[in-house]
Structure 1
Amino acid sequence: MESPPGPHRIRPVDRECHRMNKTLIATLLVSTFAVLSLSACSDHGHEHAADGRHSPAAGHGHDHGPGGEKITHFTDKTELFVEFPRLVVGEKSAFAAHLTQLADFKALATGTVSVILSGGGQPDEVFSTRAPTQPGIFRPEAEPRLAGQRELDIEVVTADFTVRHRLGPVTIYPDRKSADALAAEHDEGGIGFTKEQQWKVDFATTEVIRHAIRPAIAATGTLRARPDGEALLTAPMSGQVQPSGTFPHLGQVVKKGDILAYLSPRLGGDTDLASLQANARKAGVALDLSARERARMEELFKDEAVPEKRVLTARAAEASARAELDAAQGRLGQYGGSAGGVPLRAPASGIIADVRVSPGAFAQEGSLLFHIVDRRMLWLELRVSESESARLAAPSGASFRVEGIEKSFDIVPGRNGRLIATGGAIDTATRTVPVLFEFPLPDERLRVGMAVKAEVYSGAAREVIAVPGSAVIDESGVPHVFVMTGGESFERRPVRVGTREGDWVEIVEGLEPGQRVVSRGAYLVKLAATKTGEIGHGHAH
């Protein structure tokens, strides 16, 4: 009755739910995340017989017997994990259809789910339910009228999409005796991780595919601003910092030339800013008096009341007073004039990334006051080890990661960045070669100065078997993945890894295209594996 499982269909046949008293072991994950502390049996609302099988449904008046099927099937929008007993003509058989949305791997909360029996030269039979009994679990009941070999489909209709899971052939038995005559296959066991657990955590699976990966060279480095996109504004002399309106703050956008604050300097000896201002005013008064005296002497000279020498002396006195005023104003102008200090101007456009001074604080000459960065364009400065430097003939791009952000960032010259330069000499201290890329800011969480782990790509791409890097976990130095063997069962699989490009890792040995691996939440399955190896699926419906 069973067709071979393909890349989108996992179908263990004739397994029965068993050993339900052990399902509480699934609560081993409580110490890691409280939301997983659930009893799979109670979640589904089924009562169970002493041997762990479903007890007869209310009003059905019979036991389904030991046989049954569990099928896992994928479409482009949904994952279906369905359990149902052997189908018998005239008997109601409850399907437990667990539906997961592949967009976020969360439970499908609404929709109509229909069991469709077709083929065999007989009319179609359709059995539907219009809502889940709980998010993600739909329970249509099928009561077939026609025996024989039929095709089984499960159709899902929501407000956003309609999909059909084509599950292949299924036998409709003429009576319960013939259905129970076939021995049930034993559960294959494996690592149990129920759908209810998967839906409540950050969990996802990904199909193993063939993916083009470029040869990569491991590197470390730092995110930097461009040379003209970063500035450190320091105190040009010792003095007190005064605001020029609103005092600068973190994250403030500034333009080159904007006055951020004023610095009132400490002057030598007994001189202070007030003295400079007084001297300038005195020089102004002296100039005014000398100008009046010069004008008076010129009028008296016209009347021949004074000799010419008196006029020349008055003119010289006025010129001297003007020079004194100019000098006083020049000295005062060096310290901001009427504003009361030296203007501190933004040397570059960008955002204020650091403020090291408060209004009214005293700053020593050369101390850092403000750090300004322009993050619109960043530089990725990488260091490649001397042993790998020979492969840097023509870097074709790079990919990097930073702590705290799961995804990697790719730089593709000509598309979202460019190669600035590759170093032509080995750094004698670090024995590395620098490689520099420029790229526009792809994520606001990136900060200038962040340390990165990166790969520099060099050479032509080749097609390999690959999985997301998040699917591979290290166990005592051996890389492993968790392969999905059923909707709620997984198998630990050691693998041999090769080249890594961005979020993808080459699998040299251990996997085949079409299989599915846990790509998010692998560590949680690893925790489940420490306790659930002996309980199989640890869950019944």
Structure 2
Amino acid sequence: MCSLCAFLLGSCNGNSASKGHEHEHEQEEQNGEHKEEGAEKHSDEIILPKVKADAAGVEVQVIKPSSFCQVIKTSGQVMPAQGDEATVVATAAGIVSFRTLLTEGAKVSKGTSLLTISSKEIVDGDPINKARSSYQIAKQEYDRSKELLKSRIVSEREFNMVKENYENARLTFEAISKNHSANGQAVKSPISGFVNKILVKEGDYVSVGQQIASVTQNKKLFLRAELSEKHYSSLKTITSANFKTPYDEKVYGLKELNGRLVSFGKASDATSFYIPVTFEFDNKGEVIPGAFVEVYLLSSPKNNVLTVPRTALTDEGGLFFVYLQLDEEGYKKQEVKLGADDGIKVEILSGIKPGDRVVTKGAYQVKLASASSAIPAHSHEH
């Protein structure tokens, strides 16, 4: 009887120990699973120490819904504003000579000599000598007639005709001789500004009144956008525009340039399927008149739109990503779907939500950190 009790007691203890061991093993497996899940949870985290992020110029913005205009992307051209450009014409016939180096874009003041026109070697002769000779003859005739008028030898009518001839000869001579030198007739800039175009070259022959250059003050400029006929219904909703120049890839907003809508066409012409939309703006930057630009026409606003600056986006084979900041040193790569683009900001249709902290500057540096981020997840604690 005692032997049977001892056997049963041992059996129970054995089963209890076995169950206890199995329970411990199951607990270890569960703990292991939790550890693996935790590791997977942070396996895509990018670690960029704050010191390195600050040095790289990384900036973060909290995403909030805001108003965003509908955008019509097209092309256009920057042109000088009316009254902001002056045409330089030849004041004499002759051969062009540039006394100093004159290039397009050069800054000039009002009255600056741009070039000279020499008439010494042309068939008609030097006009200054002709004008001087005509003036001297007319003056002698005028002085003689004035004395004869006192003696009533010439009539009042005859004297007035001589006087008129003298005045015309005087004005012609003074106009020509005003900018004349030994080198020829100097052509001066009518306004202060920048040389926009030079239409002649050294040694060219020009006639009186021929256009030889243009000078622009570059203070006011026109932006002429070409709107496709298919967007005609949106024409009256257009309020402003952004544009990107081809020479520096910079995007300018007309609101920051004191821009305003000047006019828009009522219909396209026979040679084009586009309707012109014209804006005027202050040239506060380095915008070059005549440049062809990309234009983002801004029309009706939409509310509660999530947007990010274009600098927040990275392009990988046609897919776009942003980087979310998880904490002070942790970041995550996030794919996003894009909507409208106004050249400065881009509408985000999916991928982020209000309150997300998105890297708006230095996204490329975070991307480089992700390529070399072989740091184990347990080395960074939240």
Do the two structures share a fold, i.e. TM-score over 0.5? Answer: yes
Change (3 A) 1:342 1:270: closer
**CA–CA separation in structure 1 for the residues paired with 2:61 and 2:234:** 32
Matched residue, 1:401: 244
**CA–CA separation in structure 2 for the residues paired with 1:292 and 1:400:** 69
1:432 is aligned with what amino acid? Y
2:245 is aligned with what amino acid? V
**CA–CA separation in structure 2 for the residues paired with 1:472 and 1:437:** 30
Shift of 1:510: 0.6
2:215 is aligned with what amino acid? H
1:251 to 107, 111, 125: 107
Contact 1:190 1:536 in 2 (8 A): no
2:87 to 224, 229, 232: 232
- Does residue 352 of the first structure (1) align with residue 208 of the second (2)? no
1:421 is aligned with what amino acid? S
Identity of aligned residues (%): 20
**CA–CA separation in structure 2 for the residues paired with 1:389 and 1:527:** 45
Shift of 1:407: 5.2
Query: Which of the pair is proportionally richer in helix?
Result: 2
**CA–CA separation in structure 1 for the residues paired with 2:126 and 2:305:** 75
Contact 2:95 2:204 in 1 (8 A): yes
Matched residue, 2:232: 389
**CA–CA separation in structure 1 for the residues paired with 2:260 and 2:142:** 65
- Does residue 368 of the first structure (1) align with residue 208 of the second (2)? no
1:461 is aligned with what amino acid? K
Q: Show CA shifts across 1:74-121 (max 9, x none).
A: xxxxxxxxxxxxxxxxxxxxxxxxxxxxxxxxxxxxxxxxxxxxxxxx
Partner of 2:65, secondary structure, is strand
- Does residue 411 of the first structure (1) align with residue 255 of the second (2)? yes
Shift of 1:509: 0.7
Matched residue, 1:209: 64
- Name which structure has the greater RCO, CA cutoff 8 Å, separation 6+: 2
**CA–CA separation in structure 1 for the residues paired with 2:49 and 2:377:** 7
Matched residue, 1:462: 303
**CA–CA separation in structure 2 for the residues paired with 1:343 and 1:471:** 56
Matched residue, 2:48: 193
Shift of 1:515: 1.4
1:352 is aligned with what amino acid? F
1:524 to 344, 352, 365: 365
**CA–CA separation in structure 2 for the residues paired with 1:493 and 1:507:** 12
2:242 is aligned with what amino acid? S
**CA–CA separation in structure 1 for the residues paired with 2:179 and 2:373:** 81
Instruction: Kindly report the root-mean-square deviation, in angstroms, between the aligned alpha carbons of the 2 structures.
Output: 4.7
Q: Show CA shifts across 1:191-213 (max 9, x none).
A: 34333432333432222221111
1:423 to 245, 259, 265: 265
TM-score norm. by structure 1 comes to 0.50
Contact 1:226 1:379 in 2 (8 A): yes
Change (3 A) 1:290 1:360: farther
**CA–CA separation in structure 2 for the residues paired with 1:380 and 1:496:** 31
Shift of 1:451: 3.2
Matched residue, 1:535: 375
Q: Show CA shifts across 1:445-485 (max 9, x none).
A: 33323333232222243211221221122221122212223
Partner of 1:486, secondary structure, is coil
Partner of 1:523, secondary structure, is helix
Change (3 A) 1:236 1:396: same
**CA–CA separation in structure 2 for the residues paired with 1:321 and 1:494:** 90
Shift of 1:261: 5.6
Q: Show CA shifts across 1:356-390 (max 9, x none).
A: 49999766343533422341x33221112232232
Shift of 1:281: 7.0
- Does residue 481 of the first structure (1) align with residue 283 of the second (2)? no
Partner of 1:269, secondary structure, is coil
Structure 2: runs of 5+ lacking an equivalent: 1-34
Matched residue, 2:18: none
**CA–CA separation in structure 2 for the residues paired with 1:228 and 1:474:** 44
Contact 2:92 2:185 in 1 (8 A): no
Change (3 A) 1:321 1:383: closer
Matched residue, 2:17: none
Structure 1: runs of 5+ lacking an equivalent: 1-182, 299-310
Change (3 A) 1:335 1:243: farther
Matched residue, 1:220: 75
